[in-house]
């Protein structure tokens, strides 16, 4: 437990990586949880659906938790909450849009009737244990985003969440610079600030700048027009709909999350759709192709997403053809480039015109603050201490250097990683230890039952394949009674490799005849036919093919 004159700062996700944001603040015997996000799988996590933070530390201290405070509604900030909340419980606080999205998630998990969700208003402080919290409006690529001013007896901490400084956002809700400056005048003990775009120079391009780009691009489309964007980017969806009306196209919404998020945003007044603009997916056949615009999910080429199925010709209602246009109004998120390019190539192969940020940068505007916006945040708040958050190590270190350039004392900037436990006192900030942390994999209905060993096996199978050897042996003597049978998957094409497989069977028979010593088994290992056949095949395929397939021996005793 921390001293009553020190604040604990413990990141369990989001530092040293992109996504999976989860920060814990502790004062006295109380803990405040800020955000609880997920990360999406990558090539190193085959078969995994989602990745969430390891919350063992919170589970061990669940009686200390005073609440969960969410900065905004993106998956990397709220997506893990329905998975970890049942083991922790506690009230959840957020803005209207954030809670609207969370209610849908908790409903899917059959938890909505158990949880208490409290909608908060900007600038109005509320108390959770020793923490007095004020939400400060910021612009981001989802509406109703907030920075958090967290005041403790020690001083005020400003946790920015994801932000940018857009003076003319589509919805007319700019970053509250007045409140940030007022905090700076009152005194900010520590600033924890979004680092995602630290390496991008300049200032934020206003979201409004995309409107004329959409109108120009949409006006030249001749066939069906398909626009892919993030379903959470409500202001972007608003612009797409406005431009569709200008060029005289009806709008079709495609994708489960697109329909859900639009419904929440419309109910809360964040999205205005003119009458007779929307067309149901099932009714789009009644309209000419050149009169329709489809807004779809799947801009990152996610497996089984609507856009991927459209490109593959597997979508039941939407069929694209030569002369149609696809617009990707989204960022190529690092790690997704290969899947996105594969999707684009498929559309181009079929004769579609494809617009994306690489051939038309102005088709997308980032939701994260570039360097000059980050400088402005530092200049307005004038923090004594600084901790960069939300980013890989290269982002965090660059942001810490920027803070020093902006006047933070070099000794007062601290780069942390997941699991670090830092203590902030009135005149000192330092890492004093660590807590349990890591990743938990969600695979189908299982949460945490897939670990690193299982993933290693999956990667092994995907890279080197599988060999099954069937042995029929005498139960009493362990002597082989008939020639081994081999079944391979992902190793060789069996019909064209009968000679090689015959040699592999010979290798097994010879090894069984020579016994354990010939394959370097020790007396302690007690090798039987199963172990001998497995090692013999591993050595055979390594020597002949340079591969290490997984070998599974099946022994039938007669």
Q: Active-site positions?
A: 194, 368
**Cβ within 8 Å of residue 58, ≥6 positions away:** 12, 24, 31, 33, 65, 84, 88
Is the CA virtual torsion 260, 263, 266, 267 positive or negative?
negative
Query: In the numeric block, which tokens belong to residue 49?
Result: 């659906």
DSSP 8-state assignment for residue 534: H
Query: In the numeric block, which tokens belong to residue 96?
Result: 């209207």
Q: Is 118 helix (H, G, I), strand (E, B) or coil?
A: strand
Query: In the numeric block, which tokens belong to residue 20?
Result: 């999976």
Q: How far apart are CA 375 and CA 203, in angstroms?
A: 10
The full DSSP string for 507-523 is: HHHHHHHH-GGGGT--G
Query: In the numeric block, which tokens belong to residue 337?
Result: 């480039």
Helices (H) and strands (E) in the chain, counts: 15, 25
**Cα angle for residues 324, 329, 334 (degrees, 5° grid):** 120
Q: For strand 92-94 and strand 117-119, is the pairing parallel, antiparallel, or unpaired?
A: parallel
Query: In the numeric block, which tokens belong to residue 528?
Result: 């039987």
Over 190-237, what HEC string results? EEEEECCCCCCCCCCCCHHHHHHHHHHHHHHCCCCEEEECCCCCHHHH
- The answer to whether the CB of 328 falls within 8 A of the CB of 228 is yes
Strand order in the sheet with 353-355: 250-254, 292-296, 225-228, 325-328, 353-355
Query: In the numeric block, which tokens belong to residue 517?
Result: 């010593």
Q: How far apart are CA 386 and CA 158, in angstroms?
A: 10
Strand order in the sheet with 550-557: 485-489, 466-473, 550-557
């Amino acid at each position: 437990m921390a001293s009553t004159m020190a604040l604990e700062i413990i990141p369990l996700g989001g530092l040293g990586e992109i996504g999976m944001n989860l920060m814990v603040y502790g004062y006295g015997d109380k803990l405040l949880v800020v955000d609880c996000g997920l990360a999406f799988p990558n090539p190193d996590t085959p078969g995994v659906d989602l990745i969430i933070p390891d919350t063992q530390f919170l589970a061990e201290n669940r009686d200390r938790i005073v609440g969960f405070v969410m900065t905004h509604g993106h998956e990397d900030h709220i997506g893990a909450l329905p998975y970890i909340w049942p083991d922790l419980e506690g009230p959840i606080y957020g803005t209207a849009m954030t809670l609207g999205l969370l209610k849908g998630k908790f409903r899917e998990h059959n938890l909505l009737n158990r949880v208490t969700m409290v909608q908060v208003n900007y600038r109005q402080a509320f108390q959770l244990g020793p923490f007095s919290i004020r939400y400060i409006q910021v612009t981001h690529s989802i509406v109703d985003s907030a920075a958090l001013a967290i005041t403790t007896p020690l001083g005020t901490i400003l946790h920015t969440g994801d932000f940018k400084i857009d003076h003319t956002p589509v919805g007319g809700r700019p970053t509250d610079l007045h409140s940030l400056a007022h905090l700076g005048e009152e005194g900010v003990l520590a600033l924890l600030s979004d680092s995602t775009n630290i390496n991008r120079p300049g200032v934020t391009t206003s979201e409004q700048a995309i409107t004329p780009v959409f109108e120009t691009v949409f006006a030249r489309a001749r066939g069906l027009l398909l626009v892919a964007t993030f379903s959470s980017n409500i202001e972007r969806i608003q612009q797409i709909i406005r431009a569709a009306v200008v060029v005289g196209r009806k709008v079709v919404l495609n994708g489960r999350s697109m329909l859900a998020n639009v419904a929440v945003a419309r109910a809360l007044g964040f999205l205005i759709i003119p009458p007779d603009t929307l067309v149901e997916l099932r009714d789009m056949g009644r309209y000419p192709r050149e009169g329709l615009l489809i807004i779809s999910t799947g801009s990152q080429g996610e497996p089984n997403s609507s856009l991927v199925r459209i490109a593959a010709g597997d979508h039941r209602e939407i069929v694209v053809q030569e002369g149609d246009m696809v617009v990707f109004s989204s960022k190529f998120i690092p790690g997704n480039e290969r899947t996105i390019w594969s999707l684009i190539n498929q559309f181009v192969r079929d004769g579609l015109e494809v617009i994306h940020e690489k051939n038309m940068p102005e088709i997308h505007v980032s939701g994260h603050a570039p360097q000059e916006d980050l400088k402005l945040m530092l200049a307005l708040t004038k923090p004594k201490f600084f901790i960069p958050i939300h980013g890989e190590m290269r982002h965090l270190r660059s942001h810490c250097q920027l803070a020093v350039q902006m006047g933070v004392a070099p000794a007062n900037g601290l780069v942390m990683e997941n699991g670090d436990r830092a203590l902030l006192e009135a005149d000192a900030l330092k890492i004093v230890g660590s807590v349990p942390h890591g990743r938990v994999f969600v695979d189908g209905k299982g949460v945490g039952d897939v670990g690193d060993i299982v993933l290693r096996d999956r990667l092994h199978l995907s890279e080197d394949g599988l060999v099954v050897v069937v042995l029929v042996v005498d139960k009493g003597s362990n002597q082989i009674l008939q020639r081994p049978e081999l079944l391979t998957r992902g190793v060789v094409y069996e019909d064209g490799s009968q000679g090689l497989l015959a040699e592999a069977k010979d290798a097994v028979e010879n090894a069984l005849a020579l016994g354990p010593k010939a394959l370097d088994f020790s007396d302690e290992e007690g090798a039987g036919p199963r172990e001998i056949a497995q090692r013999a095949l591993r050595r055979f395929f390594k020597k002949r093919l340079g591969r290490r397939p997984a070998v599974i021996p099946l022994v039938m005793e007669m």
